């Protein structure tokens, strides 16, 4: 797998990196994602939701930077496992990866946001 950071040292949001951080993105960027999806539901014109989309992007990039600073080795190793296994979570379940380092961070984020996010709630909200 190619380097997971750019020349400045910021993590590159490849599919493997995003999949590896998905639980964290779910918790930390939930309100931004819900606002964006609500905007898309209310107005099919893509231009109307550009700002909401930028907020989602900023949130995710900020989270990836935090994870890279706190859990650099674990993040790279887990993203490498995901990359090697074509982003199949099942293939990396036994791999300690990012949760080893960031488990306490994830728990703190869950407490800040309330109950763990359920995709079904978002789907029912969207329909």
Establish if 2 belongs to a structural domain. no
- The predicted pLDDT at position 80 comes to 87
Q: How many domains does the chain have?
A: 1
Which domain range does residue 55 map to? 15-126
Establish if 93 belongs to a structural domain. yes
Alpha-helix runs per DSSP H in 21-113: 22-28, 30-42, 50-70, 72-84, 97-113
Establish if 7 belongs to a structural domain. no
Alpha-carbon radius of gyration of the chain? 15
CB contact at 8 A, 40 and 49: yes
Tens of pLDDT, residue by residue over 38-94, are 999 999 898 999 999 999 999 999 999 988 888 888 888 888 888 998 888 888 877
Indicate the pTM of the whole model: 0.74
CB contact at 8 A, 101 and 74: yes
| Angstrom distance (rounded) from CA 74 to CA 21 | 11
């Amino acid at each position: 797998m190619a380097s997971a950071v750019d020349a400045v040292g910021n993590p590159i949001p490849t599919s493997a990196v995003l999949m590896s951080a998905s639980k964290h993105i779910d918790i930390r960027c939930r309100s931004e994602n819900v606002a964006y999806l609500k905007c898309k539901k209310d107005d099919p014109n893509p231009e109307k939701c550009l700002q909401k989309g930028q907020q989602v992007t900023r949130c995710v990039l900020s989270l990836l930077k935090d994870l890279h600073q706190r859990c650099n080795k674990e993040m790279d190793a887990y993203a490498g496992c995901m990359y090697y296994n074509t982003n199949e979570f099942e293939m990396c379940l036994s791999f300690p990866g990012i949760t080893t380092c960031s488990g306490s961070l994830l728990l703190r984020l869950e407490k800040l946001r309330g109950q763990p996010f359920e995709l079904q709630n978002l789907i029912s909200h969207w329909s």
